[in-house]
Amino acid sequence: MRIAAAQFDPTVGDVVGNLERIERAVQDAKAAGATALLTPEMSLLGYPPRDLVLRQGVAEACERAAAELARRHPDMLLLLGLPRRVQRKGRQLANALAICRGGVVERFHDKRLLPTYDVFDEDRWFAAGDHVTVIEHEGERLGVLICEDLWGGADVDASRAYASDPVADCLKAGATALIAASATPFVLGKRARQHAHLARIAAAHGVPVLSCNQVGANDDLVFDGASVLVDAAGRIAESWPLFETTTRTVDLRGGCRIAPPAERARERDLIDALVCGIRGYFLKTGHAKATIGLSGGIDSAVVATLAALALGPAAVTGVMMPSRRAAWMTPRRLHPIFPSAACSRFPSPTCTSASPRT
């Protein structure tokens, strides 16, 4: 079975734009021979939507977008993340996946485990799902999960007292593979815990596991993508690039085809995450240039470097704040710790000296 996972960067609230991004992913998936496409959690609205999801008409707009994508692509199995209206005690919304096939939204799967720790407060908005979803497609029985349904808090190295186990329930219902739509934020060291968790599940039950994660930055959260397919032996069969938008098609039963991902230095992860956050903020707020006040200390030098990496050196102007030491940094002469032949990975922003106040 060939299935594609669309690791993309949604803009929160931009339902029309997110629909267009998914449309491009569908076209890429078809071109690669996929018959199914998995998108990240809340892909049509973007994650985290926070109180935006409570506004009248937001869930309905997402449901219309899902129906439109289903109508356009009757030959594909599409799994689209969205909020949807429900009638349940205490809440009228569910964090769901629309399962589209044959030109219609065939059914929904509602997220069962709603995290309420760290940056999460999902039971503020959503009612928990109460059913197991296993769908048949091309000889596989796919157990459908949404983010915490798969992780259960294990990826943050903390135990959670959940009353149910969606993974075990899918396997009891006859799932031969597990697929999960995620929007799990970047945290240093979390990726290794996720891989270990997936390997344990896959190897213990002899089923492949595919996790499709959001990439990009929204508000105070950064997402690294890092979507992954783990084969039935618990080995990484395919891994999507970090901090990049891409759609890849894989064979769920293709076996292990790649070497394990190389270990990355924590500093590399941290730099990439900070650059992703800066770039995402500027792109999604419509800003193109930055002006940074430079004190001459290491803190402002690091900020200037990160801004130049995220936006390009030409888009960053550094202004030396007035001081008795300001003379050592002018447009034509840099301080010795920033030689003119700097490493291309750390491009220098344009620098000027501000006039002292009178």
| Active-site annotation, residues | 41, 111, 147
| φ and ψ at residue 43, rounded to 5 degrees | -65, -30
Task: Kindly state the tokens that stand for 52.
Answer: 């935006």
The identity of residue 273, as a single letter, is A
Query: Distance of CA 294 to CAs 100, 192, 277, 316, 353, Å?
Result: 53, 37, 21, 12, 9
Q: Is 352 helix (H, G, I), strand (E, B) or coil?
A: strand
- State the Cα angle at 32 between 28 and 37, rounded to 5°: 60
Identify which of 134, 109, 33, 112 has the alpha carbon closest to the alpha carbon of residue 75.
33
The identity of residue 230, as a single letter, is V
- Residue 33, phi-psi category: left (phi > 0), alpha (psi -120 to 50), beta (remainder): left
Helix (H), strand (E) counts: the chain: 7, 17
